[in-house]
């Protein structure tokens, strides 16, 4: 819904239904209980997924930061949603009691406010938190793709050389772009359809670029493994190329999961935009999918890497009961850094020296 402040400023609140107290009935208790359970589940999943990514580092430090930030920022969305829920279900009335506001960009159904009051400040702040959360996720994956591109271009010493300025620039770019996205959405600079088309365009660009990046790294690795190229590249460059191939395979699997999630949301939202019967429920379904995203995104991403999966199972409460006190991590012990896949280069060097 939209808030028109001072008759000039359009604030976009990320909820389709607003001030709808029809949900406040005994029959909806199972619904609210399931929402509370899903909130705690998402909190647990996001928290431990962040820990697993930081403990078992399968990427360079830059990519590890980006991936961990994507999951950690869900708590920002959690806080924002908790603040919006009382307004959404008419517990706190910003509009007149009984007036139900539905939809996006419906100028006839804007909530008009002449001033900022103590009741309106929380929902404006919460809206920014939710939009910033979406900005962090979108810019995070864009920066992750950029980081893998830089690793490909700087294959000679990306892992071995310290590039603090590069890391700082990635962090600044990630945070700045997320803030720009958040402000552009909360102030409703772009219509919803335009934002969706931008998202579709991003997917159209992303898929072939992933295949191109994967192909380039595999080709570079295969060329370096040829006997005639043994002395043409440094050992550090060969190690980095092997690492790039391993990382791009993992990133490729992660992006496939994200693309599936993104496409699902887009399909549901487009069904609502094109007025397919049940428009109201499609929009609310999209809200729930985005809000409870960790329920899908954590298992999906964990499944892409064996060591992540093994370490994540260590934190599952059921497995905690099975762990022997004398050897608490034996079944779930994993290396904290990526395994080296560079033995072939040592063999080539040995053969060359002989």
Q: Are 139 and 177 contacting, i.e. CB atoms less than 8 angstroms apart?
A: yes
Q: DSSP label at 339?
A: P
119: domain CATH number?
1.20.1070
User: Is 65 a residue whose pLDDT tops 70?
Assistant: yes
Q: Are 248 and 155 contacting, i.e. CB atoms less than 8 angstroms apart?
A: no
Whether pTM > 0.75 for this model: the answer is yes
Look at residue 185 and tell me if it is in a domain.
yes
Number of domains in the chain: 1
User: Is 47 a residue whose pLDDT tops 60?
Assistant: yes
353 burial (CB, 10 Å; 0-12 / 13-18 / 19+) is exposed
Look at residue 19 and tell me if it is in a domain.
yes
Look at residue 352 and tell me if it is in a domain.
no
Rounded to whole angstroms, the Cα distance separating 41 from 43 reads 5
In the predicted model, what is the mean pLDDT of residues 66-84?
87
Look at residue 325 and tell me if it is in a domain.
no
User: Which residues constitute the domain of residue 335?
Assistant: 2-319+331-347
Dihedral (CA of 43, 47, 48, 53) sign: positive
Radius of gyration of the chain (CA): 24
Look at residue 353 and tell me if it is in a domain.
no
Q: Are 233 and 339 contacting, i.e. CB atoms less than 8 angstroms apart?
A: no
Q: What is the mean pLDDT of the chain?
A: 78
Look at residue 151 and tell me if it is in a domain.
yes
Rounded to whole angstroms, the Cα distance separating 57 from 67 reads 10
- What confidence score (pLDDT) does residue 253 get? 85
Of residues 6 and 42, the one with the higher pLDDT is: 42
User: Is 235 a residue whose pLDDT tops 60?
Assistant: yes
Residue with tokens 């406010």: 113
Q: Are 157 and 240 contacting, i.e. CB atoms less than 8 angstroms apart?
A: yes
pLDDT bracket for residue 348 (50, 70, 90): very low
Look at residue 326 and tell me if it is in a domain.
no
Look at residue 186 and tell me if it is in a domain.
yes
Q: DSSP label at 26?
A: G
């Amino acid at each position: 819904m939209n808030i028109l402040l001072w008759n000039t400023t359009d604030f976009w609140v990320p909820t389709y239904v607003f001030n709808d107290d029809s949900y406040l009935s005994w029959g909806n208790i199972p619904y609210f209980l399931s929402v509370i359970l899903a909130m705690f589940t998402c909190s647990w999943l996001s928290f431990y997924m962040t820990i697993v990514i930081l403990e078992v580092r399968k990427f360079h430090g830059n990519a590890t930061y980006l991936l961990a930030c994507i999951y950690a920022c869900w708590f920002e969305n959690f806080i924002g949603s908790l603040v919006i829920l009382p307004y959404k279900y008419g517990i706190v009335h910003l509009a007149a009691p009984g007036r139900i506001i539905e939809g996006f960009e419906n100028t006839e159904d804007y909530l008009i406010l002449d001033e900022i009051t103590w009741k309106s400040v929380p929902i404006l702040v919460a809206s920014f938190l939710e939009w910033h959360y979406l900005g962090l996720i979108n810019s995070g994956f864009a920066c992750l793709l950029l980081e893998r591109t830089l690793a490909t271009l700087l294959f000679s010493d990306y892992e071995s050389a310290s590039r603090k300025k590069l890391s700082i620039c990635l962090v600044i770019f990630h945070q700045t772009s997320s803030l720009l996205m958040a402000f552009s959405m909360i102030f409703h600079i772009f219509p919803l359809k335009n934002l969706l088309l931008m998202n579709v365009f991003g997917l159209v660009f992303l898929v072939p670029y992933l295949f191109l990046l994967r192909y380039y790294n595999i080709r570079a690795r295969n060329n370096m493994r040829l006997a005639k190229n043994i002395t043409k590249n440094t050992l550090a460059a060969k190690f980095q190329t092997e690492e790039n191939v391993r990382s791009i395979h993992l990133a490729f699997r992660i992006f496939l999961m994200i693309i599936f999630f993104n496409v699902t949301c887009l399909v549901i939202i487009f069904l609502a935009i094109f007025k397919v019967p049940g428009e109201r429920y499609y929009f609310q379904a999209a809200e729930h999918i985005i809000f409870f995203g960790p329920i899908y995104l954590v298992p999906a991403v964990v499944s892409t890497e064996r060591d992540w999966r093994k370490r994540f199972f260590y934190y599952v409460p059921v497995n905690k009961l099975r762990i022997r006190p004398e050897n608490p991590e034996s079944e779930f012990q994993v290396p904290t850094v990526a395994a080296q896949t560079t033995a072939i280069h040592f063999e080539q060097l040995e053969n060359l020296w002989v």
